[in-house]
Each structure stands twice: as structure tokens, then as C-alpha cells.
Amino acid sequence: MSDQFDVVVIGGGPAGYPAAIRAAQNKLSVACIDEWQNRDGSHAFGGTCLNAGCIPSKALLESSELVHRAQHEFKAHGISVGTVEVDIAGMQKRKAAIVRQSTQGILALFKSAGVTPLQGHGRLLPGLKVEFTAHDGAKRTLQAKHVILASGSQPMELKSAPFDGRHVVDSWGALDFDAVPKRLGVIGAGVIGLELGSVWRRLGAEVVVLEALPDFLPMADGQVSKEALRHFRKLGLDIRLGAKVTGASVAGGEVTVAYTDAKGEQPVVVDRLVVAIGRRPYTRDLLAEGTGVALDERGFVQVDEHCRTGAKGVWAVGDCVRGPMLAHKGKEEGVAVADAIAGLYAEVNYKVIPSVIYSAPEIAWVGLTEEQVKASGRAYKVGSFPFAASGRARAMEATAGFCKVVAAVDNDEILGVHIIGPMAGEMIAEAVLAMEYSASSEDLQRTIHAHPTLSEALHEAALAADKRAIDCLNK
């Protein structure tokens, strides 16, 4: 096997493996190194996303939502199912099969594209060399013309509530519970905390979510955040804002969490505690001395707007660099870098990266919030359409939420789209496409949407921005 490649990618997650495949599609010789190890000692490509994040969490979210619908919605459809029994072992088995299919699929894609997969640890050396250490300890030095760093991220640990792997766990641990905890605590009301809290609440756990910030989902549009908080609490999540955790102790199979809020010191006792306060770049032993690649004060690999590091021929993409830690952001960066290396046009439009929370109702947005546009001083208009007025949503018994379009007054450019409701994560793609091509709200108004569909809500929201909505009152 040759130890010389045009491109060596360190990291086989959602940023690294697409970079490797695209580089191979561009007729370059490519090796992709990944060191992921599962709890059973097996190894797999796909990083956190496929093994312990996006994919397994969505599998459990789907299963738990079906349970919730069977318990609370089927009757409205005229369907009687009797007692709904939850088989956690069966759910976990299904989740594991989906993960295995996804990760094995990467190897099949590599084989088809001609990428050399290497399972083990990659370390960048000076002179565009990469030290590869296999899981059995064997070492090789690879010579590359270009190196792409895609080492990903890992959960942040709270000093006052350190992980113990059983009672106090990270997001991966929370996906592997073998039974529904009677009382579940979640530290952090971000995307991960809310999704995991939703899963176990639907399956029967009493869930308390402790969020240090005084505002709920501050990164989302204010109107959406307010609506989301109402629905999460309706689901039964006990969300406590302004709650700063000061400590956690385990005794007798219980976790006592101490936190402070406006009322002072407060305790809460749970059976399991999930710490979901965010993620940090994973760069352990990634860089040898003298590579010319620098890390910033938060541990991210420093790159320019085109993902180039300070070392010629070395690039970095995904969670280990600045920007939102989103799998699709990393994928686009990886593909763009692979194209740039091949001398092709490559660009990532960071202004139109969508965000999605896979709750029920789903939450999705792209672009600027109304608050951000208002703060900029630019004159704007807003159109909103409730799913309660959507025939398709009513047929689905999914009328919660709304679509919202924020557009500029001067040239009608769409500045932001915010959706809370059924299939929001799918619907946001239309908004992303529109904004990628600098569409106006009139462009959306003139786009024919099939009836009856959920996407009509976005059409009507665009019409409402000019007080021309057909299926709801224009306010």
C-alpha cells in the first residue's frame, strides 16, 4: 500500500468523509483516517454524528414520538390501540441497526470512490506528513500534498457535575439508557438537551431541564422561542431558566443536583443526569510541533474564510473550526475544500446555514431573526401564517406553530425564515434555496405550492408580509 496521497483527511465524520469522497471524485488519491471507537470496542467511520449524535438521536426521537402519538393522538383519528407498551430494548436494537447501516455505508462509499480507509489516530507532522497509528499500535507515516483536518468535537464537561458514565452522563450516554429513568435531569436547554429531554419524557420519565441563561432558545427568533417554550412545557418538560448548577452528588443510586436561581440555592433529585451544555473542538494529539497550524483561545483550529490554516496545504473543516457545530455546515466545508484543492470553484454561504431542533413540533430557521434585523436598523416587514389554518396540518392533527418570513422593505429580500410546526426541518430547505439565490418574498408568493401541503404555510407567510394572505387574516 502506498504511503503517498494527494489528500489525507484526518477525521471520518460528517465533515471528513464527504471531503474524502469529493476529493476522490475529483480524481485525487485520498486516505481518510478515523479513530472512533464504540463502547463495545468496535471501530466505525461517521464520527459523533452517525455513531452517537444525529442519527441515533433521530431514531429514538421518531420511536418516542410514535409512542406519544399512539397515546395522545390516535383516538382523534378514530384509532383504538389499547395499552401502549414500550420496549426500550427493541428501540435500542432498532437504533443500533440504523447506526450500523449508516456507518457501514461510508465504507461502501469509500470503496466505490477509491478512498483508502484507515482506522486509528492521525497526527499532523511538519512538511505535510501525517503519522497514522492503527488501533493495534502499528505506525506509518503518510506523505500528502494536502491535509484536511476534520477532527470534530466532543461534549463539554461541567466541573461541578463530572461524568461518571452511569448516573451522570453526556449526550451519548443518554442515548444508551436501557430503561426509562423515573426522574431525569438535563443540564442545558439547547438543541441536544431539548431533544434528549423530549425522548425520555415521551417514554414516561419525569424531566427537569436546568438552563443557566435567563432566556429560552436565545439564538432563535423571539416569537418562535416563546411558542417553543409553551409546547415543551405542555409536553411535560419542567424547564427552569436562570438555574445555574453548582454541584451534583451521587448517593444511593440518586443524583442530587444543587443550583441557584432567583430564589436562591435549590436542590433537585433525579435518577439520571444528562449534561448537555455544549461541545468543544476535539484536537487531542492532532498537531505535532512545528506544523504551522494554530489553535485559538477556545481550542478551535484557526482558519480563514476558505478553511485554510496558517500552513500551506493544510485545511480544517467542521466542528474543529469556527462557526456553528452542525453536520451539514461541516459537510459543505469539506466538499468545498476538496473542490478548492482540485482547482474548482468552491464557496460556503455561511449566511444561509439552517438550524433544526427535531422536537414535536419541529423548530427550524435560517438567516436573521426579527430581533437581529430590528437591531440593524434596516426597515423590514413580517409575514406569519399559523398551521392551525393549514388544511394539511389539520388533517395530520399537527396544528401547533407557524411559519414566519422576515423581508426587507427596500428591495423585498428575504432576510430570515422561522418555522415551528410539523416537518419544519424539511420545509426550511425551500427557504434556504430561496435565500441562496437572493429571492424576494414576492418570488415565494409567485411560486405555486401544491395543495394541500404543509409548504403552503410558507407561501402564505410570504403573502402575509404584504398583507395579501388568502387563507388567514391579514393583520
pLDDT in tens, 351-378: 999 999 999 999 999 999 999 999 999 9
Q: Of 77, 449, 451, 459, which residue is the catalytic one?
A: 451
Task: Name beta bridge partners: 158.
Answer: 161
Per-residue pLDDT at 1 exceeds 80: no
Q: How many beta carbons lie within 10 A of that of residue 371, not counting itself? A: 16
Q: What is the dihedral of CA 275, 279, 285, 287, to 10 degrees?
A: -170
Contact 428, 233 (CB under 8 A): no
CA distance 213 to 221: 16
**Cα separation values, 194 from 197, 237, 447, Å:** 5, 9, 34
Q: What is the dihedral of CA 131, 136, 138, 140, to 10 degrees?
A: -30
Contact 393, 457 (CB under 8 A): yes
Length reported for the chain: 475
> What is the rounded average pLDDT of the residues 302-325?
98
Q: Given pLDDT bands bounded at 50, 70 and 90, which one contains residue 340?
A: very high
> What is the rounded average pLDDT of the residues 326-350?
97
CA distance 373 to 385: 20
Question: What separation, in Å, do the N-terminal and C-terminal C-alpha atoms of the chain show?
Answer: 68
pLDDT given at position 475: 84
User: For the chain, which domains are there?
Assistant: 4-155+280-348 (3.50.50.60), 168-277 (3.50.50.60), 353-464 (3.30.390.30)
Task: Name beta bridge partners: 123.
Answer: 131
CA distance 421 to 399: 7
**pLDDT tens readout for residues 114-160:** 999 999 999 999 999 999 999 999 999 999 999 999 999 999 999 99
Beta 129-134 vs 254-261: how paired, if at all? Answer: unpaired
CA distance 472 to 460: 8
CA distance 405 to 387: 14
Q: How many beta carbons lie within 10 A of that of residue 263, not counting itself? A: 8
Output the nine-digit C-alpha cell for 87: 420496549
CA distance 321 to 423: 30
Handedness of CA 365, 371, 375, 380 (dihedral sign): positive
**pLDDT tens readout for residues 13-55:** 999 999 999 999 999 999 999 999 999 999 999 999 999 999 9
Torsions phi, psi for 393 (to 5 deg): -65, -40
Per-residue pLDDT at 90 exceeds 70: yes
Output the nine-digit C-alpha cell for 440: 424576494
Contact 461, 387 (CB under 8 A): no
> What is the rounded average pLDDT of the residues 321-336?
98
**pLDDT tens readout for residues 277-301:** 999 999 999 999 999 999 999 999 9
pLDDT given at position 317: 98
Q: How many beta carbons lie within 10 A of that of residue 107, not counting itself? A: 17
Q: Cα-atom radius of gyration of the chain, to the nearest Å? A: 24
Mean pLDDT of the chain: 97
Per-residue pLDDT at 2 exceeds 90: no
pLDDT given at position 288: 98
Catalytic, 451? Answer yes
Look-up of cell digits 485525487? 28
Amino acid making up residue 200: W
